[in-house]
Each structure stands twice: as structure tokens, then as C-alpha cells.
Amino acid sequence: MATIEEALEIERLERDIFRGASTKTQLPRTFGGQVAGQALVSAVRTVDPGYQVHSLHGYFLRPGNPQERTVFLVERIRDGRSFCTRRVTGVQNGEAIFTMSASFHIGDEGPEHQDEMPNVPLPHDLPDARTSMSPERLWAMREWEHWDIRTIPQEQVARRGGLVAQQQVWFRYRHSLPDDPLFHVCTLAYMSDMTLLGSSKVIHPDDPTQNASLDHAMWFLRPFRADDWLLYDQASPSAGFGRALTGGRIFNQGGQLVAAVVQEGLIRTLRED
């Protein structure tokens, strides 16, 4: 399957028009993380290198065709002294399949604080998915073979009082990545769509549902590397009316909170037809 470099590859067609790569996949629709990652790369290509991504907000509007390349139209909304903003629309066959706003910041000084990282088993104490995944989940291992993803068993999850559904996942890219910090940000945007909606299903494991990401927001808080271990501490505070709200905090192995994610997804009960 495609490497992350291949999955995030884009070409510039015009000053603010880009086209993303189409990669080999087993999925019937384009993986949402790939669309979001390519959209973010497109936005980055229009911003001065002195700015760093600090947030993105995206909506998945239509399922993408994984056999077709997506064109990304970038609008330069604002260029200020400290912040700049871009809006990106992903298009296939003349229809928008994804839209995203991304904000960039030069970085300033101010007060600092962060939540503590949960006390969880270390990734090296958990089995590699390549040797432990059930036969019915092997397709996921093939699809994301370049990622090391280790889900903490539910009986070992570090529980927080009052949270109804929790899931914790260690992950990293298996191979060394370029040192460019923006490449790691775009890689995390790709990865952040993976496993998060699953936190809404941990207390409904036997309910057959149709699942899809609806919208996705991220905040990048501190520098990190996506080829080092990261803990995705996930929770789903609510589900109803065929939708689930999920959120995640991402820590590096040193305990620094490096990113936060919120996503609403479709978890609609499967109809007989």
C-alpha cells in the first residue's frame, strides 16, 4: 500500500490550485484522512514558511472516489502579521467532497499549562497488530501496513470518572520521516481520522452500523514527530440520532500534549436493504 509520502503527494496546477495523488486502496471510498491531509498540504504550499499550522476545521461533504484524483482549490482568506487563514475545497467531477479552513500562526510567548497524560501501558508492552490482529481485521493491517497501531485493551484503559466511552491507542509511522515539522503535522492530520470514531462503538460492539466521518477539527499544540510513539486518548461523550461525537487528546511518549481532535461521525443503524 501507499507510503505516507505517496498518500500526501500533490502537484501544483496553478498558483492556488493543486491535485492530490490517487493511491492503491481496499476502501470503497477515499479515506477521509487522506483527503484532509492533502488539503492541508495544499494550504501549506500557499503560506510563508515562517507560519506553522495551529488548527484546522473540515467537513466531509460527499464520499470520494478512491480511483480518481482530487483537485484542491485554495482561497487566501487572510494574511496578517501573526496569523493567516486559508480555505480549501476538495473537488471531484465538479462537486465538492471536502471543505476545510486552516489557520497558521508565527508563534508567540505566553502562559503555559497542559493536562497530564493518562497512566497507560507502554506501547512496547502491547502486541504488534501484525501478529495479534484477528482474521476479520487483517484488511486494516494491509491498508495501513506502514503504521504501527496498538490499541490498549478495554480492561487496561486509564478510566476518567463520568466518561461513558473511552479508547486509548498508541500509534507511530513505522519508517523514518523527513525532519520538516509541517510534514509531521500533515501526517498527523492523515492519521487523526483513523480509530477515533471507533471510540463511540466500544460500548456498542455488537450493533451493526454504517460509519463515516462527518466533520473534523484539530489543534496542533506542541512540536512532535509522527514516527515516534504517540498516545491517542479518545472518548465519545454522546451518541444519538445516528451520529456520535468523539474527541481525542494526543500525547508524545514524554507526556507532552501535542494535539487535540474533535470529530462528529455517522453511526447509523444498518437497514435491512
pLDDT tens digits, residue range 38-73? 999 999 999 999 999 999 999 999 999 999 999 999
**Total number of domains in the chain:** 2
- Together in a domain, 206 and 248: yes
193 belongs to the catalytic site: yes
Q: In Å, how far are 101, 189, 258, 265 from 252, measured between CA atoms? A: 26, 15, 7, 26
Rg, the chain, Cα only:
18
pLDDT band at residue 137 using 50, 70 and 90 as cut-offs: low
What is the Cα–Cα distance from 155 to 146, expressed in whole angstroms? 27
**Which pLDDT value is given to residue 273?**
67
The catalytic position among 92, 192, 193, 199 is 193
**Which among 267, 266, 230, 228 has a CA at the least distance from the CA of 248?**
230
- Together in a domain, 96 and 133: no
Average pLDDT for 132-158: 82
**Which pLDDT value is given to residue 131?**
72
Question: Domain limits at 58?
Answer: 1-106
Average pLDDT for 238-252: 97
- Together in a domain, 154 and 259: yes
Assigned domain for 172 exists: yes
Assigned domain for 47 exists: yes
- Together in a domain, 229 and 128: yes
- Together in a domain, 94 and 198: no
**Which pLDDT value is given to residue 133?**
62
- Together in a domain, 234 and 179: yes
The answer, yes or no, to whether residue 12 has pLDDT greater than 70, is yes
Average pLDDT for 222-243: 97
pTM of the model: 0.94
- Together in a domain, 151 and 224: yes
Assigned domain for 148 exists: yes
- Together in a domain, 80 and 202: no
Assigned domain for 114 exists: no
The answer, yes or no, to whether residue 147 has pLDDT greater than 80, is yes
- Together in a domain, 195 and 154: yes
pLDDT tens-digit series, residues 77-104: 999 999 999 999 999 999 999 999 999 9
The catalytic position among 22, 34, 192, 263 is 263
Assigned domain for 223 exists: yes
Least confident of 128-132, 153-157, 168-172, 254-258: 128-132
Assigned domain for 42 exists: yes
pLDDT band at residue 135 using 50, 70 and 90 as cut-offs: low
67 belongs to the catalytic site: no
